[in-house]
Each structure stands twice: as C-alpha cells, then as structure tokens.
Amino acid sequence: MQFAILIYSSEEAMQKVEPASKQAMLAAYQSYTQALQSAGILLGWNRLRPTAAATSVRIADGKTQVLNGPYADTREQLGGFYLIDVADLDAAIGWAARCPSAAVGTIEVRPIWDPKDY
C-alpha cells in the first residue's frame, strides 16, 4: 500500500536555526532516506522550496486566477514529502515516527488512492 509522508514545520523557525543544527538535520535526513532505500520501500521524495516561491492556481467564474504564495497561511508549512510502499498504515506510521522532523514539526501520513478504486 502506498503512503505519502508529508513533512510540515515552521519555515520561520527553520530560518533561525544555527548552521551546525541545520547540518545535523541534513545528516539525519540523509540517514533516514538511506534507511527507506535500504528497506526497499522508497518510491520517491523531495524537499520543497519555501512557500514564498509557491504559486496557487484556481478557477473562479471560468477564469484562471494565479496567486503568489501558498493557498493557506498556517503556522506550519509543507516542506517536503516521501512516497513509500509498505504493508499497512501501522508500518507507514512507524516510518513517519522515524522522520527527523517528527521532533520539531508534524508528519502527516496519507494513503494514496489505488487507481482501481477511482
């Protein structure tokens, strides 16, 4: 079963982190990514640029509206994701708990629709 591990944290707080702490976090993410790869469950992953670089698109009255920035103003922002394939939700939660940002932000575990269920 496929799951997205969505990583939320405060961009503002991350900007204030000392360089040595940032390096430690990057090293922790390298180890975490390697563990997912070694387990053979990693389908994809990436880090997202800050929300200031985001563009939101919506259609209103048949017209496309393009807005700078994120859709919602929140305390935590989506900063990255992993796509994994594991046996069940419990396994996905176990991997999410190991994510380095679980200690400083929120990790959302969301199942991916199976195309046959559309």
Domains of the chain, residue spans: 2-117
The string of pLDDT tens digits covering residues 35-73 is 999 999 999 999 999 988 999 899 999 999 998 877 667
Of 115, 118, 112, give the one whose Cα is nearest residue 3. 112
The string of pLDDT tens digits covering residues 11-39 is 989 889 899 999 999 999 999 999 999 99
For residue 111, what is the enclosing H or E element? strand 106-111
Considering the domain 2-117, what is its CATH architecture? 2-Layer Sandwich (3.30)
Return the SS3 of 114.
coil
Of 67, 38, 65, give the one whose Cα is nearest residue 53. 67
